[in-house]
Structure 1
């Protein structure tokens, strides 16, 4: 499981860095031009903090994988991470409309890839946390 956590750490650091491209990729400058300043800034701030939490979770996995697996506190932290990613997996199905990806080749591919990633993260963390 230590190797799995190190791989997860690497993937989470990449995911955190990718958040930096969201504004440009999703054209937020134009999309949010019509919303109030507070709503526009909340999107940027919340995206930053999601990326920051993902980065910290990745750093934890890279720096402390043996402790996450081998200590009671580590397993509790892993359980919390597992619940976090399980919630994200559920949001993948119940928080986003299928209209966003169904019938669209690239978007369907991305949906499948991230469904797999959220499942993998949930599974590993929950196995550690409950095991």
Structure 2
């Protein structure tokens, strides 16, 4: 199960890197200019905070795998992160077009996150 926790950390780092690349991938220098000052700032603040969050999750996974597997706090943390990814999966269908191939790919990746963080809870009794 420690290997799964380690994979959860790698998964989180991958998403931190993905979000770091948002400025380039989504041409934010040009695209965010279309928003007013406040909304432009909010989008960027939310993105930088989610980068921090993913790095924090990775840190917890790498440094405290035993605690995640054995303590009530660790199990609650894993449950919360699994639910985060489940919610993110559902939001794909609420906020984005479901006929886009990239949306489908991301949806599958979010489902993987849901399962990945839930696996230690299901098989570490």
With the shorter chain as reference, the TM-score category is 0.7 to 0.9
The alignment of Structure 1 onto Structure 2 pairs a total of residues equal to 123
Maintained 8 Å contact 2:32/2:40: yes
1:28: Cα distance to partner? 1.2
2:107 is matched with: 115
1:72 is matched with: 72
TM-score calculated relative to the size of structure 1:
0.82
1:129: Cα distance to partner? 4.2
Maintained 8 Å contact 2:92/2:98: no
CA distance in 1, matches of 2:75, 2:108: 23
Shift in alpha-carbon separation, 1:11–1:41, aligned structure 2, 3 A:
same
Maintained 8 Å contact 1:76/1:129: no
1:59: Cα distance to partner? 1.4
Shift in alpha-carbon separation, 1:117–1:65, aligned structure 2, 3 A:
farther
1:30: Cα distance to partner? 1.4
Maintained 8 Å contact 1:82/1:129: no
1:92 is matched with: 92
Stretches of structure 2 lacking an aligned partner (at least 5 in a row): none
TM-score calculated relative to the size of structure 2:
0.85
Stretches of structure 1 lacking an aligned partner (at least 5 in a row): 102-107
1:55 is matched with: 55
Alignment RMSD (CA, Å) = 1.9
